[in-house]
């Protein structure tokens, strides 16, 4: 699991933006929402190409007027397994780096908008 990111907004505000982003992936045919508990957990599977999918398990924790969000990344598929062999088992690092950047982008988007839903 990635290091949680603290966002200066309520869990509900973070959830609304995260869920909208997930829905845009669903609408484009690139993602599927597998499970959700409103303003707490979201499990999304993203199609990265033929034979390669990534599951993102987002967790939101309330901290008063703030929110902590974390993401557990789980790559899936034959293409992932094959590429990870050639990367000597370190193939998850770029996926984790991209997910961490995604959390930072989410934080920036919410905080720059003043936490607007």
- CATH code of 83's domain: 3.30.530
Name the burial class of residue 21, with classes exposed (0-12), middle (13-18) and buried (19+) by CB atoms within 10 angstroms of its CB: middle
The Cα 50–Cα 24 span in angstroms is: 20
Contacts of 27 (CB under 8 A, 6+ apart): none
Distances (CA, A) of 11 to 19, 28, 52, 65, 115: 12, 26, 31, 8, 10
Is residue 51 situated within a structural domain? Answer: yes
State the number of CA atoms in the 13 A half-sphere of 7 facing the CB. 33
22-36 confidence digits (pLDDT tens):
999 999 999 999 999
Is residue 104 situated within a structural domain? Answer: yes
User: Coil, strand or helix: which one is 62?
Assistant: strand
pLDDT band at 115 (very low <50, low <70, confident <90, very high): low
Average pLDDT estimate for 2-18: 95
Place of tokens 């598929």: 77
Q: Residue 47's domain spans which residues? A: 5-112
36-84 confidence digits (pLDDT tens):
999 999 999 999 989 999 999 999 999 989 999 999 999 999 999 998 8
Number of domains present in the structure of the chain: 1
Is residue 117 situated within a structural domain? Answer: no
């Amino acid at each position: 699991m990635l290091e949680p990111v603290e966002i200066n907004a309520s869990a509900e505000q973070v959830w609304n933006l995260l869920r909208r982003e997930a829905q845009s992936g669903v609408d484009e045919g690139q993602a599927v929402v597998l499970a959700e508990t409103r303003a707490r957990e979201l499990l999304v599977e993203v199609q990265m190409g033929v034979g390669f999918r990534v599951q993102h398990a987002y967790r939101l924790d309330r901290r008063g007027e703030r929110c902590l969000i974390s993401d557990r990344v789980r790559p899936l598929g034959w293409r992932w397994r094959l590429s990870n062999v050639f990367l000597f088992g370190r193939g998850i690092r770029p996926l984790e780096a991209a997910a961490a950047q995604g959390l930072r982008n989410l934080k920036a988007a919410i905080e720059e908008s003043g936490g607007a839903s």
